[in-house]
Amino acid sequence: MWPKIRVAEALRDGLDALAITEHLEYQPHRLDIPHPDRNRAYDDAKAAGRNSELIVIRGSEITRNAPAGHVNAVFLDDANKLLKVDNPPSNPGDVSGYSTAARKWPAQKAIEAANAQDAFLFWNHPWWTRQQRDGVTRMNAFHADNAKNGLLHGIEIANGSTYSEEAFQVALDYGLALIGVSDVHDLIDWDYQPHNGGHRPVTLVFAEEKSAGAIKRALFANRTVVWFRNLLIGRVEQLLPLLEASLNISNLSYRPQTSVAEVTITNISDANFELRYVGDYTFMYSADRIRIPAHEAITLLVKPGDTLDRVALEFVVENALFAPGEHPSINLSVSR
């Protein structure tokens, strides 16, 4: 897919930033597109977005067999310095031969070359069954050493249509940023069908401002939440403020001649919230589970037993995780 199409998709989806991370070593179209400069995809995307507010980030994908696997480096200065190919095949159509020659340069050298540019590096889809047969993410010595030495900074927990609970735990155990990506190779519309309510996986970055520098600083500080198939996944420090900013309760009143309270809960986010009530009251028109669609509000009838001046409702957010299998709670309170 040509880079300007990626920019058009990003603008249509309302993204603030887009990282272009073409494979360095794997060049399946080398016969048609020789690609001598690995910065060209970024250059084209940058030019396509020049009249917009989209932040385009230069990146590349380092591609090796296990244990290194695939690693993305973003915020690069020059992608070409991450690639060294001695004795490439003379036939430009020999995709396998070129890839084999390119992968002979040690993965660690590419990792170090990216870090020399002060790039942000993350381990891609460590549960990928082509390299991890059982689909279970396990930290290995290669990545553990790089994480310990500050050369690996994040790990994908969501990639395309797949999610890894084990990768989430690895991120928490090793202090790595939580990353979610589309890894799209065709069209966003084909893979994620936003016209049918779907969405690409994204990394929500808690930056001080909308700038490339602020995004980079936030990534290195692990200030991220992943949005994957309507599931919000993050550390408590970022996840709870996001939930509290997304949901608002208001308009406490009582039905005439009753102690049945009426409140409005508004969802200002792009996610649909799935909530489970865990308090002492009961509701009039629903059981303990409620759904609040994106950018909508619902009216909830609550039976507190008396006409209180303040009503507090505690919910477990079932479409959010702060650790594998652990859902956060949120308290919504309103006064009249």
CATH code of the domain in which 252 resides: 2.60.40.3090
The answer to whether residues 133 and 269 belong to one domain is: no
Nearby residues of 212 by Cβ (< 8 Å), 6 or more positions away: 17, 55, 57, 75
The answer to whether residues 94 and 223 belong to one domain is: yes
The answer to whether residues 93 and 23 belong to one domain is: yes
Which domain-ending residue is among 207, 229, 251? 229
Kindly report, residue by residue over 52-95, the tens digit of the pLDDT: 999 999 999 999 999 999 999 999 999 999 999 999 999 989 99
We report the CATH number of the domain holding residue 9 as 3.20.20.140
Q: Say what the pLDDT of residue 15 is.
A: 97
Q: Say what the pLDDT of residue 31 is.
A: 82
The answer to whether residues 217 and 329 belong to one domain is: no
Rounded to whole angstroms, the Cα distance separating 282 from 152 reads: 48
List the Cα angle 36/42/48 in 5-degree steps: 125
Q: Residue 151 carries which DSSP code?
A: S
Whether residue 251 is contained in a domain is answered as yes
List the Cα angle 169/170/172 in 5-degree steps: 65
The answer to whether residues 34 and 82 belong to one domain is: yes
Q: Say what the pLDDT of residue 33 is.
A: 87
C-beta of residue 163 within 8 angstroms of C-beta of residue 137: no
Query: Total structural domains in the chain?
Result: 2
The answer to whether residues 224 and 257 belong to one domain is: no
Give the mean pLDDT per block of 10 residues along the chain (336 residues). 94 96 91 89 96 98 97 98 95 93 96 99 98 97 99 98 98 99 93 93 98 99 99 99 98 98 98 98 96 98 97 99 98 97
Q: Say what the pLDDT of residue 192 is.
A: 95
C-alpha 207: how far from its chain's center?
Answer: 14
The answer to whether residues 65 and 109 belong to one domain is: yes
Q: Say what the pLDDT of residue 30 is.
A: 86
Rounded to whole angstroms, the Cα distance separating 290 from 197 reads: 19
Q: Say what the pLDDT of residue 108 is.
A: 98
Q: Say what the pLDDT of residue 1 is.
A: 81
Whether residue 171 is contained in a domain is answered as yes
Rounded to whole angstroms, the Cα distance separating 310 from 110 reads: 59
Kindly report, residue by residue over 178-192, the tens digit of the pLDDT: 999 999 998 999 999
Q: Give SS3 for 313.
A: strand
Q: For residue 315, give its domain range.
A: 242-335
